[in-house]
């Protein structure tokens, strides 16, 4: 399920619509300090549903919108699209290509789209969790993350291994199912009470 294209429009330093094509093999992105290399990986994580502004080096999510420069006015929206080659259908879609888009307006409202169809953030997260790459996964290791992993406590490190082994998804599903069971149990107790009252 290779990422074949990244289209960045109005995100951070990318004021103009910019398309990056990823060919087979390794792609290296080089450039002077401050030229926007990290903004590229942040654009990928953001489109995958990153919801913590801090992890994108901002204080609010609106900070991802191009904030203007000496020569250009600020923009009022940002959009990032990830295009995946899905010919082996690793993503649960019939399409050979899957385009995941996230948009944010100056009001702070975010939209998510899969192949131009509006979806919920939950759908984006599920899509990537099922494929084993979430926005926190080891598919993207940013600066400082290596130190963070080496210095983490054993329990934190275990989560990293669980994610890599694909266990985390099942743990999340188990938690959801357990919460449902608790709710169902509560409902049964309530129904029993009502039945007793009526008897
Ligand atoms: P380094 O090699 O030092 O790590 P880098 O190439 O990874 O640098 P980035 O950190 O990706 O560079 O980009 C930083 C640049 O992005 C800065 O010039 C900063 O002003 C610009 N930038 C960040 N957010 C915005 C924004 N919302 N609007 C405009 N420019 C932004």
Query: Going by CA atoms, what residue is nearest to atom 17 of ligand 1?
Result: 34
Residues counted in the chain: 199
Tell me, using a 6 A CB cutoff, whether residue 33 lines ligand 1: yes
- Residue nearest atom 8 of ligand 1, based on CA coordinates: 34
The residue whose CA is least distant from atom 25 of ligand 1 is 12
Neighbours of 81 (CB within 10 A): 20
Closest CA to 101 of 47, 63, 56: 47
CA 96 to chain centre: 21
- The tens digit of pLDDT for each residue in 16-64 reads 999 999 998 888 889 999 999 999 999 999 999 888 888 888 888 999 9
At 191, list the tokens: 């129904």
* Binding site membership of 117 for ligand 1 (Cβ less than 6 Å): no
Residue 60 CA from chain centroid, whole number: 16
36 lines ligand 1 (CB under 6 A): yes
Kindly state if the Cβ of 132 falls inside 6 Å of ligand 1.
Answer: no
pLDDT, residue 130, reads: 65
Tens of pLDDT along 78-88?
999 999 999 98
CA distances for 12 relative to 28, 50, 98, angstroms? 20, 15, 24
pTM over 0.90: no
Model ipTM?
A: 0.95
Per DSSP bridges, beta strands 110-114 and 77-85 are unpaired
HEC string for 57-97: CCCCHHHHECCCCCCCCCCCEEEEEEEEECCCCCCCCCCCE
Q: Which two tokens stand for residue 79?
A: 């959009």
Would you state the pLDDT for residue 55? 82
90 lines ligand 1 (CB under 6 A): no
How far does residue 46's CA lie from ligand 1's centre (Å)? Answer: 15
How open is the CA angle 177-180-184, to the nearest 5 degrees? 140
d(C-alpha 92, C-alpha 147), whole Å? 35
Q: Is 13 in the pocket of ligand 1 (CB under 6 A)?
A: yes
């Amino acid at each position: 399920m290779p990422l074949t294209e990244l289209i960045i429009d109005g995100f951070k330093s990318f004021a103009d619509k910019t398309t990056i094509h990823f060919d087979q093999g390794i792609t290296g992105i080089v450039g002077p300090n401050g030229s926007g290399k990290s903004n590229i990986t942040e654009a990928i994580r953001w489109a995958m549903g990153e919801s913590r502004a801090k992890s994108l080096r901002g204080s609010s999510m609106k900070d991802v919108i191009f904030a203007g420069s000496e020569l250009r006015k600020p923009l009022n929206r940002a959009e990032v699209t990830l295009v995946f080659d899905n010919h082996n259908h690793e993503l649960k879609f019939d399409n050979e290509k899957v385009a995941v888009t996230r948009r944010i307006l100056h009001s702070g409202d975010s939209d998510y789209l899969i192949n131009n169809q509006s979806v919920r953030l939950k759908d984006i997260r599920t899509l990537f969790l099922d494929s084993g790459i979430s926005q926190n996964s080891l598919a993207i290791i940013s600066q400082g993350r290596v130190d963070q992993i080496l210095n983490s406590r054993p329990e934190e490190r275990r989560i990293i291994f669980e994610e890599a082994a694909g266990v985390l998804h099942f743990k999340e599903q188990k938690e959801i199912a357990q919460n449902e069971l608790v709710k169902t149990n509560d409902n049964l107790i309530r129904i029993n009470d009502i039945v007793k009252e009526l008897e």
